[in-house]
Amino acid sequence: MHAHGLSKKQVLAELKKIRRRDKHYDDGKILCSMCTKPHPMAIKAYRLFLTSNLGDPGLFSGSVQLEEEVINDLATLLHGENCVGHVVSGGTEANLMALLAARNMAHVNAPEVVLPESAHFSFTKICNLLDLKPVYAGLDDSFRVDPLQVEKCAGEKTVAIVGTAGTSELGVVDPIEELSRVALEHKVWLHVDAAFGGLVIPFLADAKLNFDFALEAVESITVDPHKMGMAAIPAGGIIFRDSKALDYIKTETPYLTDQYQYTFIGTRTGAAAASTWAVFRSLGVEGFKKVVGKCMKTTRLLADGLTDAGFKLVVEPTLNIVAFRSDGGTRHLVEKLRRQGWFVSYVPRYDCIRIVVMPHVKNRQALAFLKDLVVNQKC
Amino acid sequence: MHAHGLSKKQVLAELKKIRRRDKHYDDGKILCSMCTKPHPMAIKAYRLFLTSNLGDPGLFSGSVQLEEEVINDLATLLHGENCVGHVVSGGTEANLMALLAARNMAHVNAPEVVLPESAHFSFTKICNLLDLKPVYAGLDDSFRVDPLQVEKCAGEKTVAIVGTAGTSELGVVDPIEELSRVALEHKVWLHVDAAFGGLVIPFLADAKLNFDFALEAVESITVDPHKMGMAAIPAGGIIFRDSKALDYIKTETPYLTDQYQYTFIGTRTGAAAASTWAVFRSLGVEGFKKVVGKCMKTTRLLADGLTDAGFKLVVEPTLNIVAFRSDGGTRHLVEKLRRQGWFVSYVPRYDCIRIVVMPHVKNRQALAFLKDLVVNQKC
């Protein structure tokens, strides 16, 4: 820290200069992110609620109202009734609260959780924290977790089974319906990580994917407004089917305006709830269908173009994620594309390039990407 | 969610109406919060970096630079050399990362942590998560943890000792120097929770309180810019003395632009770092001294006024927190004050009212509060 402060003008000029080193969503060249440019109303709402703290709800009852309405909207969208939940910092905290509730409720020695091999890496963090032993179930040919393997992995120590609705690497949706049957049989908590898919699947035109509270065993769902909900970071969501879950995750607060906290994070911005609320009200179901429809069209355009150019899709896209590889080698293409300004992910597990077709990616950018990709492959 | 979206104008009008139900820092009536109105430059910087995601650092190298500079500034302020750390979501995540590193490094069965009875309630959450057994050490007459009790509590299973530099309830600073001696003797990790005090103590005019990396055993410090650093939520900080700590908390990321993550939260806004950076650059050490000096003057004014009016201070203020009680009963005053718009905390443990004199609380508001308090006490 310098001894003396600088003027507003100096600080702002320096900030703007440094900000130019960040990439921006507008040019459509970020193809590796599950976040996107927030909806204009998400930004306005965030600014309006910037000083709100949901960690001290007695002071911010307007923000509390917005959080409740967002949670109700999400629960209804996910076919839940009388659900409870919170706007949290993102998928990691949401998954944590779910597994914490499941672990504490089950209260067994040396607890285990059955995870798909394709589960998000946040579960590695969470298992490390919670001293939960992850037991990994393998995938079927289409990279969905194999329910027979889940069945085999489940035992007396299992406190939860996890399924993913929209894996981070391939956008695949696990067979949650079958997981629900396994979970019911074993009387075990089923958590669905729909951080990405939770705000895509309900708006898909064709696919009818059963993944939510309509399935009896589903006790909790993670769904992140700061991904396909176009809210500003940090806006995650955790929804529980039953309010009893809260008893297993609550902490007493000795001096705040509320007696208990049900989130891991204490001080947390109300702007996240406001930002989400603003998008939900601005778009409505029809608006979301349009956004998702557009993303799926661009996804199709990209998938077809890749196939036409001789690339192999790892799997047919279910959601707005495309993963592909090249017979001539894939990894080296990532660096070449980077030099042209394209940001794509390389996924070592499947030796593939992954593209997330977020709302900021337009058709013309997808086509420009294809063109650059094909040239790169040839030279 | 409604079927159809509403217009910008409708959504904004509704948001503004709801926002009016939130309390605001400007009227100086929030006397119960460790957060405050962010510095104007913190707000500007937050807005500028609203779309940045430090969970994907390869995309946001400008934001990465700001985070590094903030961590360096904090480390230097706390007498650290070659420290490492991150801007996290707040004190809870910061304390988690510290105890996770300590637990994983020690790698003992049935691990324990020695906590002051006055430790923040986030440690209850963390112990629950980490399956750490909290062993509580009692306090001395001035509500600081008693080092002899800490000594007694420490044993073979102890993975960390925690001290607080600025307790949430009384603003007391534990005798970290003596805790350092105990920790060295037991060869155990010493973590200092300076979430509140870390950006107060270095700027105090008189008190020389030894609480940071100048003390040999201190391995990690929590310090929250969104408290006395006047940054916008969510801006917490965790600083480790030694980069080796990161090995114990890292998680591999299979598809992001960086290979490892060292924070619990994955997707995290770069605006928090930018917001903190903007305050640090705008104020500098001299600016912070002024802010802290003003808060301490108002604290003194309040403490003297309370004593003059016959209230009993629980303890002489060290930082900008005043705790007091009334011989005629204390709890009932909280509700009376609330009806007049004053928000104060009631702390059952000490049967006292606690006031946090944050930068948004001016002298005239402190005097108005005193006046209302005295009237309430009499009737």
Residues 83-112 of B with CB under 8 A from A: 89-93, 96, 100, 104
Residues 43-82 of B with CB under 8 A from A: 43-53, 56, 58-63, 65-66, 73, 76-77
pLDDT attached to residue B98: 98
Query: Any CB–CB contact under 8 A between A204 and chain B?
Result: no
Residues 139-168 of A with CB under 8 A from B: 168
Q: Which of A24, A66, A286 sits opposite B4 (nearest CB)?
A: A286
CA distance B268 to chain A (A): 6
What is the pLDDT tens value at each position of chain A, 379 positions in all? 999 999 999 999 999 999 999 999 999 999 999 999 999 999 999 999 999 999 999 999 999 999 999 999 999 999 999 999 999 999 999 999 999 999 999 999 999 999 999 999 999 999 999 999 999 999 999 999 999 999 999 999 999 999 999 999 999 999 999 999 999 999 999 999 999 999 999 999 987 899 999 999 999 999 999 999 999 999 999 999 999 999 999 999 877 767 899 999 999 999 999 999 999 999 999 999 999 999 999 999 999 999 999 999 999 999 999 999 999 999 999 999 999 999 999 999 999 999 999 999 999 999 999 999 999 888 7
Provide φ and ψ at A43, rounded to 5°.
-70, -45
CA distance A347 to chain B (A): 5
pLDDT attached to residue A255: 73
A1 touches B284 (CB < 8 A) = yes
Query: Any CB–CB contact under 8 A between A19 and chain B?
Result: yes
Distance between CA A26 and CA A21 in Å, rounded? 14
Across the interface, do B100 and A128 touch by the CB < 8 Å criterion? yes
ipTM: 0.95
Distance between CA A300 and CA A290 in Å, rounded? 15
Which residues in chain A have their CB less than 8 angstroms from residue B347's CB? 254-255
pLDDT attached to residue B8: 98
Residues 255-284 of B with CB under 8 A from A: 255-257, 261, 264-270, 274, 277-278, 280-284
Which residue intervals of chain A are DSSP H helices? 8-19, 40-48, 61-77, 91-106, 122-130, 147-153, 176-185, 271-308, 331-339, 363-378
Which residues in chain A have their CB less than 8 angstroms from residue B121's CB? 251-254, 266
Query: Any CB–CB contact under 8 A between B4 and chain A?
Result: yes
Which residues in chain A have their CB less than 8 angstroms from residue B43's CB? 50
Q: What is the pLDDT of residues B207-226, one digit of tens each?
A: 789 999 999 999 999 999 99
Query: Any CB–CB contact under 8 A between A32 and chain B?
Result: yes
pLDDT attached to residue A197: 98
Q: How confident is the model at residue B325 (pLDDT cuts 50, 70, 90)?
A: very high
Tokens of A31: 């193809």
Distance between CA B13 and CA B15 in Å, rounded? 5
Residue B258: pLDDT over 80: no
Q: How confident is the model at residue B253 (pLDDT cuts 50, 70, 90)?
A: confident
User: Which whole number is the average pLDDT over B199-208?
Assistant: 91
Any idea what DSSP says for residue B247?
G
User: Which whole number is the average pLDDT over B90-95?
Assistant: 98
Distance between CA A231 and CA A274 in Å, rounded? 9
Across the interface, do A59 and B343 touch by the CB < 8 Å criterion? yes
Query: Any CB–CB contact under 8 A between A254 and chain B?
Result: yes
pLDDT attached to residue B377: 86
pLDDT attached to residue A115: 98
Query: Any CB–CB contact under 8 A between B342 and chain A?
Result: no
CA distance B359 to chain A (A): 14
Across the interface, do B281 and A93 touch by the CB < 8 Å criterion? no
- Each as own residue / partner, the long-range contacts of residues B146-151 (CB below 8 Å, 24 or more positions apart, any chain) are B147/B175, B147/B178, B147/B179, B147/B181, B147/B182, B150/B114, B150/B116, B150/B179, B150/B182, B151/B182, B151/B185
Closest residue on chain A to B252 (Cα): A121
Which residues in chain A have their CB less than 8 angstroms from residue B73's CB? 1
The label of the residue with tokens 């928000």 reads: B343
pLDDT attached to residue B249: 96
Buried b (16+ CB within 10 A) or exposed e, A28-56: bbbbbbbbbbbbebbbbbbbbbbbbbbbb
Residue B21: pLDDT over 90: yes
Distance between CA A307 and CA A298 in Å, rounded? 14
